[in-house]
């Protein structure tokens, strides 16, 4: 079947790395490493379909409450990826900008610095972007925006509240999402981008994230293409 329409803005909740590792008798570190490798493949697949705005929930705020050794393993993997010259060269080859959505104060300083350098090095690219949500939580995003918007009003500024609220989101650079894909059979958003996902189409895959394939993405896109989007009308 031909894919008639692809999402302009696609988001991914890549769930199931730990279950995949346990099922293969591997360490959680191996599971997360496999998951990050799959991120890179996923980005390439999306490029082939002409999807130029991709958002990946790389690390949730809830993840930060997991055992310290597990969180540190994730930090270590992301720091290594951010410095990997092969990956950086691939981003340049594909003219892809990396945008990190995070309150970077909650990240280790060396990881925050590595991610900032990656953002800076790829900032020249405008058409194609991969947004990485790092230590992100939807409720925290909403509270952050509400506090900033309320402060503007309290200061006596004449503002359009919804506009200033949207500008105050940590995720303000991410447009409304057309399609959200979640893997591992979990059928919920878990607080994922509540502002941008209000009218998103949702697709849930039973595959654990490291097992997700190009064919699985194609199935999601075919399903999306077949839907009639009404936006509440």
Domains, the chain, in order of start with CATH, read 9-137+176-225 (3.40.1180.10)
Query: Has 172 been annotated as catalytic?
Result: no
**Range with the lowest mean pLDDT among 33-37, 156-160, 203-207?**
156-160
What pTM value is reported for the model?
A: 0.94
What tokens does 65 get?
Answer: 């409450």
Section 150-165 average pLDDT: 83
pLDDT in tens, 95-119: 999 999 998 888 999 999 999 999 9
- Is it the case that residue 197 has pLDDT exceeding 70? yes
Query: Has 216 been annotated as catalytic?
Result: no
Residue-wise burial string across 139-169, b where 16 or more C-beta atoms lie within 10 A, e elsewhere: ebbbebbeeebeebeeeeeeeeeeebbeebb
Contacts of 36 (CB under 8 A, 6+ apart): 77, 78, 81
Section 214-218 average pLDDT: 97
- Is it the case that residue 1 has pLDDT exceeding 60? no
Catalytic residue among 30, 63, 94, 176: 63
Catalytic residue among 15, 141, 178, 216: 15
pLDDT in tens, 22-74: 999 999 999 999 999 999 999 999 999 999 999 999 999 999 999 999 999 99
Q: Which helix (H) or strand (E) holds 110?
A: helix 109-122
Give the integer Cα–Cα distance in Å for 35 and 18: 9
Provide the pLDDT for residue 24: 97
Provide the pLDDT for residue 2: 73
Provide the pLDDT for residue 152: 82
Cα angle, residue 19 at apex, residues 13 and 21 outer, rounded to 5° = 110
Are 186 and 15 spatial neighbours (Cβ–Cβ below 8 Å)? yes
- Of the chain, the percentage scoring pLDDT greater than 70 comes to 99
């Amino acid at each position: 079947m031909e894919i008639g329409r692809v999402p302009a803005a696609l988001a991914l909740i890549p769930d199931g790395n730990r279950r995949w590792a346990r099922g293969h008798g591997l360490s959680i570190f191996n599971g997360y490493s496999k998951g990050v490798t799959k991120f890179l493949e996923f980005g390439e697949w999306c490029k082939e379909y002409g999807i130029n705005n991709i958002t990946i929930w790389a690390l949730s705020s809830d993840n930060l409450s997991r055992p310290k050794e597990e969180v540190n393993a994730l930090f270590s993997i992301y720091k290594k990826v951010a410095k990997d010259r092969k990956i950086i060269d691939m981003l340049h080859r594909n003219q892809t900008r990396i945008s990190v959505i995070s309150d970077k104060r909650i990240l280790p300083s060396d990881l925050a610095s590595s991610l900032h350098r990656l953002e800076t090095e790829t900032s020249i690219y405008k058409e194609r972007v991969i947004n990485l949500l790092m230590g992100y939580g939807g409720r925290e995003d909403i509270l952050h925006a509400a506090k900033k918007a309320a402060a503007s009003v309290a200061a006596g500024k004449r503002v359009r509240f919804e506009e200033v609220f949207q500008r105050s989101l940590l995720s303000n650079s991410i447009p409304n999402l057309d399609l959200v894909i979640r893997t591992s059979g979990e059928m919920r958003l878990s607080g994922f981008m509540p502002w941008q996902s209000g009218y998103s189409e949702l697709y849930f895959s039973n595959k654990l994230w490291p097992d997700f394939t190009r064919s699985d993405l194609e199935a999601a896109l075919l399903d999306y293409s077949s839907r009639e989007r009404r936006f509440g009308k």
